[in-house]
Amino acid sequence: MRISFMGAGRVAHHLAHVLSQHHKIVQIYSRTLATAQTLAAQVKATATMNIEELNPEIDLVIIAVSDQAIASIISNVHQQLPHVLIVHTSGSTDIEVLAQIHARAGVFYPLQTFSLERQINWSDTPIFVEAKSEDDLVLLAELANQLSSHIYSYTSAQRLSLHLAAVFACNFSNYCYDMAKQIVDAQHVDFSLLYPLILETANKVLNNDPKQMQTGPAMRGDQNILNMHEQMLQKAQREDLKNIYQLMSQQILQSHATQS
The whole-angstrom separation of Cα 50 and Cα 29 is 7
| CB closer to a second copy out of 79 and 146 | 146
Residue of the chain from 34, 41, 138, 176 that contacts a second copy (CB under 8 A): 176
The whole-angstrom separation of Cα 180 and Cα 210 is 20
User: Does position 141 bind a second copy by CB under 8 A?
Assistant: no
The whole-angstrom separation of Cα 11 and Cα 65 is 8
CB of 98 to a second copy, least distance (A): 16
User: Does position 227 bind a second copy by CB under 8 A?
Assistant: no
User: Does position 157 bind a second copy by CB under 8 A?
Assistant: yes
The whole-angstrom separation of Cα 143 and Cα 227 is 54
The whole-angstrom separation of Cα 210 and Cα 253 is 15
| CB closer to a second copy out of 103 and 151 | 151
| CB closer to a second copy out of 100 and 243 | 243
- Chain positions 14 to 53 lying near a second copy, rule: CB under 8 A, are none
The whole-angstrom separation of Cα 28 and Cα 44 is 10
Residue of the chain from 32, 189, 234, 257 that contacts a second copy (CB under 8 A): 189
CB of 173 to a second copy, least distance (A): 4
User: Does position 66 bind a second copy by CB under 8 A?
Assistant: yes
User: Does position 201 bind a second copy by CB under 8 A?
Assistant: yes
| CB closer to a second copy out of 104 and 159 | 159
The whole-angstrom separation of Cα 186 and Cα 224 is 23
| Strand arrangement of the beta sheet that strand 85-88 belongs to | 46-48, 24-29, 2-6, 60-63, 85-88, 105-110, 127-131, 151-153
